[in-house]
Amino acid sequence: MKIHEYQAKALFRQFGVPVAKSYVVEDPDELGPVGNDLTPGVWVVKAQVHAGGRGKGSVQVDGKVVGKGVQVAPNPKVALDIADSILGGTLHTIQTGDRGKPVSRVLIEQGVDIESEFYLALIVDREHAGISIMASTEGGMEIEEVARTQPEKIHTFTVNPLIGYRSHIGRDLGVEMGLRPDLLVPFSAIVKKLYALFMEKDCSLIEVNPLVVTKQGQWLALDAKVTFDDNALYRNPDLIQLQDLSQEEPSEVEAAEARLSYVSLDGNIGCLVNGAGLAMATMDIIKELGGDPANFLDIGGTATTDNVARSFEIMLKDKVDGIFVNVFGGIVRCDVVARGLVEALGQVKLEIPLVVRLEGNQRDAGLKLLEDSGLPIITAKDMRDGARLIVEACKKPGKGN
Amino acid sequence: MKIHEYQAKALFRQFGVPVAKSYVVEDPDELGPVGNDLTPGVWVVKAQVHAGGRGKGSVQVDGKVVGKGVQVAPNPKVALDIADSILGGTLHTIQTGDRGKPVSRVLIEQGVDIESEFYLALIVDREHAGISIMASTEGGMEIEEVARTQPEKIHTFTVNPLIGYRSHIGRDLGVEMGLRPDLLVPFSAIVKKLYALFMEKDCSLIEVNPLVVTKQGQWLALDAKVTFDDNALYRNPDLIQLQDLSQEEPSEVEAAEARLSYVSLDGNIGCLVNGAGLAMATMDIIKELGGDPANFLDIGGTATTDNVARSFEIMLKDKVDGIFVNVFGGIVRCDVVARGLVEALGQVKLEIPLVVRLEGNQRDAGLKLLEDSGLPIITAKDMRDGARLIVEACKKPGKGN
Amino acid sequence: MAILVSKDTRVVIQGITGKAARFHLPLMQAYGTQIVAGVTPGRGGDTVDGVAVFDSVGSAVANTGCNVSLIFVPAPFAADAILEAADGGVDLVVCLTEGIPVLDMLRVKRILAQKDTRLLGPNTPGILAPGPRVKVGILPDMVFTPGPIGVISRSGTLTYEAVAQLTELGLGQSAAMGIGGDPIIGYNFIELLAEFEADPETEGIVLIGEIGGNQEELAAEYIKKHVTKPVTAFIAGKTAPKSRRMGHAGAVITGGKGTAKDKIAALEAAGIAVAPTPADIGRTMKEAMK
Amino acid sequence: MAILVSKDTRVVIQGITGKAARFHLPLMQAYGTQIVAGVTPGRGGDTVDGVAVFDSVGSAVANTGCNVSLIFVPAPFAADAILEAADGGVDLVVCLTEGIPVLDMLRVKRILAQKDTRLLGPNTPGILAPGPRVKVGILPDMVFTPGPIGVISRSGTLTYEAVAQLTELGLGQSAAMGIGGDPIIGYNFIELLAEFEADPETEGIVLIGEIGGNQEELAAEYIKKHVTKPVTAFIAGKTAPKSRRMGHAGAVITGGKGTAKDKIAALEAAGIAVAPTPADIGRTMKEAMK
């Protein structure tokens, strides 16, 4: 689960990680009172969206560009004007996709005199089975770019979760980065606090880019990106309220509510599959045979009749020219899937081709249910057959593509 | 650091470990209001002192025995009367020593219908470097007695602190004790909570004896003994207020305040030594040569002039016929010890023999300081010599022993 | 003989009284698997489909000599269940549970590194060996047949797909298993490749990978150096859009880009035949076996 | 050659800018110890008595090749300091710090069990080897002289006492060390007995124990089986009252009663000469060497 910068910074404050003074504004009416609190000097206005590249991205209001997603204002008045102009707009960055992300909140943050910028991240490290801490002097840069061009400037330590953080880890990373001795202990303290946040809130990523030292010698987290492990939200119920669904794809949100995994793509064939691997493979074979998937919806390993029906409804909302259901039953039973399809098709009239391939657990029962339903379902004998049938069906004259 | 039963039970409540309903009374004037709250039925009145054997020990008021330290009352009225009678008395048990312990508080606890009694303890296990959990069906008994006579009835699991508690530990101990299946999960939950308390508060021991199952099938901790690691109190500052110094030996309290380790004994020779091993060895050689130590005071490894002087003052308060200072300087400097002695003797006139043996770090400087002071100090050339000198000095006619 | 399991496999099911376990228990029994015990805390003494229920794995092991545990426990309790199985002393834990918090699994992984118990999964469909007729998991046994091919997969359903194709082409299986789709898992490709390489009954190996991570690249390197038996592979996700889930810092940690193209290139460079589509897995293996 | 330390010992002092460290640093230097680095976080670049200060043990090791760490860090930070030394890669950590919380040490003990770094202490006076003139700690070197006796002790000051007696009687020492007086320590009696047994320069061993625990009993058993060199012992606390500190549950866990009488009996049953008083340690060793 992703959260906004301002929410991440609130968590930083709670864990004692230094951040600059800032105000969140949701409603233009709040700008007046906030304006009274802004002290003279530079303030930075930042659109709060779930996407990177805000500084280069532009905010549009009614289709017109009104400014960038991050803007520096020389004084409070200008800051308030900028905030007013972008609130309610849509931010378009390289990460947002064509639709952009709604700017429902802005963060107005006090400007600081930066002496130097750093990069700091904590992340679950699959390969080393630990929490890896990555630090670099190349703050403010895209870290993948740094990894490619100056890999020696990324310093990493993997914390064994059974041992936990020890103060020398941050100091050693600081020494490797060439920090001045007086900056080492406070740097390590920040890493320690972020590690505590990571573990306590079941994070999957904390990224601070840039983490800066001010001309006054203070460390400050100028940006903050935190994502949480969805699987652990049950033990951090306070975090669920931080979720901002307006930042996500509506169909993905709907699928997630039904505990389904949904990915939207660019083509015209809907794919309803069980298992991520089979879903990807189905997409691969459709492409191989000249078709183009519109999405894939993984009904997962615990599908019930209800959520198969639900999946099918979500799929129909996403404009598609045909649907391929490809299920190999293991824990999922083919008869359950068939019953879900029949149920969904009792509600809506099917006006596009539907190819169904069932195999494995309770296949015969499933196929019989489909046959008995009398619905215009095309059944396939195997995966290639099914892919071929749907690709052909979606190429018929009168259909797109 | 030891705490009272009622304090331990308050911690149990805080961590979700079930205990019976109870009231603490400090002042007889509180008995009236508490009496209004007591529901009809059996109540148990328990003297709150830092010592075991309360049930068999007797409370004395003005030298007269008024009852046992734990008494069962058939109704609230009798409970209030018992509480009133023992409050302000002195409890004498096999563990309190001759002086007894003041009964400044009583706990009035609701009686329960016991179906079965168990023993449960968590303790730092040196040998296995973990937290050992000990459980036994022989609740209410002295556990050392059980260990001697029925060792097979004590079930132990040592928790690796890097891994922590897992639910099967309590279940396995429960299965070994032959618990009914429906009691296993709640039993494990209690062990889990006590483990959390142990780790969070840096305990060195938690002992619940008895832990009972009531006829209603509920687990309850009927007694509660918790001791904390003194070395970790700095990170549990809230615990320090639980300390009840009135339960400790006054001279030991005074020594502890000066960060000294003091043990009171039965003889007449005071021993001021650095290091626990040397202290015990000094005691051993004094006894071997026919003397009898009154105490030993270990000035530890970080003695300053001030606390050497302080030690000496504490020692003089504890009536002794002579003092043997036996110091082998390592981290402790003999000159510092000598300066402390000279300082202390500047305040009080020494009327008993003082034998000083200095060796090791800065010995010569120390001996010179003593010599230059002109004080009537007997210096010894080695440990045996010193022990011999003090034993002889304390045997002189006119002195005790 | 298969790998990991054999005719001496005696299974205990943790969470045996749950719905999914109760559904799959008779399927495993019908296939021939010896399910000798179940565990549900507080339900000791009950039986489910003739299987005795115990209150802990420790007591199940003591009473039945079970040596493999199959976990159906819900995600919040699954990490603890794995550790219970390890403390209980089984040799292998097969954990089907999906959605275990990743920090729990990091701890489990580190703890198991110091113990003798091995883990398959979590989020795996389990393992099936057609020769001894042992199924520890939920794989659809009707598509399996005994034979010389070992199948290792990151995906559940693709495993079934591959096995069905092999069976269709007359290539039976020595054993097939999913390693699990979670970030932190027990057995990885390399460890299972080593098992199949050492297994006298296995003559060829199918490896089914997918985009993300660098396990396939590591496997390719390992196969080149240590595996003498023919290996064929399939990588799912060739046409997947760049995953929106993998953050940048994650990509830096992993080192590789995790694309199907890179993985296929690594495998082919190691001399491994890669099936062009998921429908060609069986055929590709058959050709490699010639 | 001594044990644990040698002429190649290169010491880093953690907490070098503290008061006690500054007092003992020149004493160690004067004795001949190579103190090549110090560590105080935030003080990197400073020097203390000619010794370069670093910000972490890792950088001290990288820059000076130090291989033994001596810890003078205050108790709340000492456990972390031990782990820093281990992560930094030194071979031996000598921890003088007194009063480390026992739960911290339990964790340290478990973590070090998986690493190559060994620990002496905490709450030890350190180790001193008169031959190579290496002192890592605070032992008063004026009472030492080179020779064939190894001294292992649970008590600091009693170690000095024993060494002074040995020197007085013409018995020099190969090395002497305290194992530390805390509940959880690194090196124990048995491990050090094994080191001395294997050390060609050691011809006899003095073991100084005290009441509590069961280390002396275990040592007696070990000596009987594995130590060929003469060993003499002293147990402090023969006349101590039953300790009020050791709870009942503790006694049950330990198994033994931990009395001096039991320990002396165990040692004598293993053929070890036990000194009757602390003033007889040297004499008893001398007789055993005949």
Give the closest residue to B18 by CA, choosing from B138, B131, B109, B83.
B109
The complex's ipTM works out to 0.91
Interface check B392 vs D, CB under 8 A: no
Largest CA distance in chain D: 56
Interface check A26 vs C, CB under 8 A: no
The answer to whether C205 and C229 are in contact (CB under 8 A) is yes
How do residues B163-186 score in pLDDT, each as one tens digit?
Answer: 999 999 999 999 999 999 999 999
Interface check A329 vs C, CB under 8 A: yes
Pick the residue of D154, D245, D253, D281 with the most B CBs within 10 A to test the interface with B by mutation.
Answer: D253
Which residues touch D132 (CB under 8 Å, ≥6 apart)? Answer: D1, D2, D5, D6, D7, D9, D32
pLDDT at D245: 43
- What is the pairing mode between strands A22-25 and A106-110? antiparallel
Q: At B376, which helix (H) or strand (E)?
A: none
What pLDDT tens digit does each residue of chain A (401 aa) get? 999 999 999 999 999 999 999 999 999 999 999 999 999 999 999 999 998 889 889 999 998 999 999 999 999 999 999 999 999 999 998 888 778 899 999 999 999 999 999 999 999 998 899 999 999 999 988 888 888 899 999 999 999 999 999 999 999 999 999 999 999 999 999 999 999 999 999 999 999 999 999 999 999 999 999 999 999 999 999 999 999 988 887 777 887 777 788 887 888 999 999 988 899 899 999 999 999 998 888 887 667 888 888 888 888 887 899 999 999 987 788 999 999 999 888 888 888 999 999 998 889 999 999 999 999 999 999 999 999 999 999 985 544 44
Superfamily of domain B250-393, CATH level 4: Succinyl-CoA synthetase domains (3.40.50.261)
Sequence ranges of the domains in chain A: 21-110, 114-240, 250-393
pLDDT at A277: 86
Give the closest residue to D101 by CA, choosing from B164, B1, B230.
B230
Strand order in the sheet with B101-102: B64-68, B58-61, B90-92, B101-102
Superfamily of domain B21-110, CATH level 4: ATP-grasp fold, A domain (3.30.1490.20)
* DSSP structural state of residue C43: -
Residue of A nearest to B164 (CA): A162
Interface check A131 vs C, CB under 8 A: yes
pLDDT at B82: 96
* Fold for the domain defined by D140-288: Rossmann fold (3.40.50)
N-term to C-term CA, chain A: 35
Give strand ranges (E) for B130-191.
130-136, 154-159
pLDDT at B312: 83
Superfamily of domain B114-240, CATH level 4: ATP-grasp fold, B domain (3.30.470.20)
Supply angle C-alpha A164, A166, A170, rounded to 5: 115
Residue D73 CA to residue C265 CA, distance in Å, equals 54
Q: Please tell me which chains touch C, using 3 or more CB pairs under 8 Å as the contact test.
A: A, B
Interface check A237 vs D, CB under 8 A: no
pLDDT at B127: 87
Between chains, do B168 and C58 touch, taking CB under 8 Å as contact? yes
CATH of D10-120, one of 1.20.1250.20, 3.40.30.10, 3.30.1490.70, 3.40.50.720: 3.40.50.720
> Is A207 a residue of the active site?
yes
Q: Which residues of C are marked as active site?
A: 248
**Nearest neighbour of B283 by CB, restricted to D75, D234, D239:** D239
Q: Closest Cα of chain B to D155: distance in Å?
A: 5
Sequence ranges of the domains in chain C: 10-120, 140-288
Is C140-288 in the same CATH topology as C10-120?
Answer: yes
pLDDT at D254: 57
Which residues touch A242 (CB under 8 Å, ≥6 apart)? Answer: A1, A3, A4, A7
pLDDT at D247: 43
pLDDT at A400: 45
What pLDDT tens digit does each residue of chain C (290 aa) get? 689 999 999 999 999 999 999 999 999 999 999 999 999 999 999 999 999 999 999 999 999 999 999 999 999 999 999 999 999 999 999 999 999 999 999 999 999 999 999 999 999 999 999 999 999 999 999 999 999 999 999 988 899 999 999 999 999 999 999 999 888 999 999 999 999 999 999 999 999 999 888 899 999 999 999 999 999 999 998 887 764 443 455 555 555 567 889 999 999 999 999 999 999 999 999 999 98
User: What size, in residues, is chain A?
Assistant: 401
Residue of B nearest to C45 (CA): B181
Q: Closest Cα of chain B to D8: distance in Å?
A: 24
Supply angle C-alpha C171, C177, C183, rounded to 5: 140
Place of tokens 């949480």: A228
- Kindly give the interhelix angle for D102-112 and D75-88, rounded to the nearest 10 degrees: 10
Chain B 347-376, CB below 8 Å of chain D: which residues?
359-361
User: Which residues from chain C sit within 8 angstroms of residue A277, using beta carbons?
Assistant: 153-158, 181, 208, 210, 236
- Active-site residue, from A207, A252, A254, A262: A207
- DSSP string covering A272-304: EESSHHHHHHHHHHHHHTT--EEEEEE--SS--
Which residues touch C74 (CB under 8 Å, ≥6 apart)? Answer: C15, C18, C97
Pick the residue of A156, A165, A166 with the most D CBs within 10 A to test the interface with D by mutation.
Answer: A166
Neighbours of A348 (CB within 10 A): 10
Q: Closest Cα of chain B to A283: distance in Å?
A: 43
What pLDDT tens digit does each residue of chain D (290 aa) get? 689 999 999 999 999 999 999 999 999 999 999 999 999 999 999 999 999 999 999 999 999 999 999 999 999 999 999 999 999 999 999 999 999 999 999 999 999 999 999 999 999 999 999 999 999 999 999 999 999 999 999 988 899 999 999 999 999 999 999 999 888 999 999 999 999 999 999 999 999 999 888 899 999 999 999 999 999 999 998 887 764 443 455 555 555 567 889 999 999 999 999 999 999 999 999 999 98
Residue D237 CA to residue B298 CA, distance in Å, equals 14
Q: Closest Cα of chain B to D97: distance in Å?
A: 10
For B75, half-sphere exposure in the C-beta direction (CA atoms, 13 angstrom radius) is 2
Does position B396 have pLDDT exceeding 70, yes or no?
no
How do residues B76-121 score in pLDDT, each as one tens digit?
Answer: 999 999 999 999 999 998 888 778 899 999 999 999 999 999 999 9
Give the closest residue to B226 by CA, choosing from B15, B57, B56.
B15
pLDDT at C250: 56
The answer to whether B374 and B398 are in contact (CB under 8 A) is no
Q: Closest Cα of chain C to B220: distance in Å?
A: 19
Residue C125 CA to residue C140 CA, distance in Å, equals 9
Pick the residue of B172, B187, B192 with the most C CBs within 10 A to test the interface with C by mutation.
Answer: B172
Residue of C nearest to A290 (CA): C239
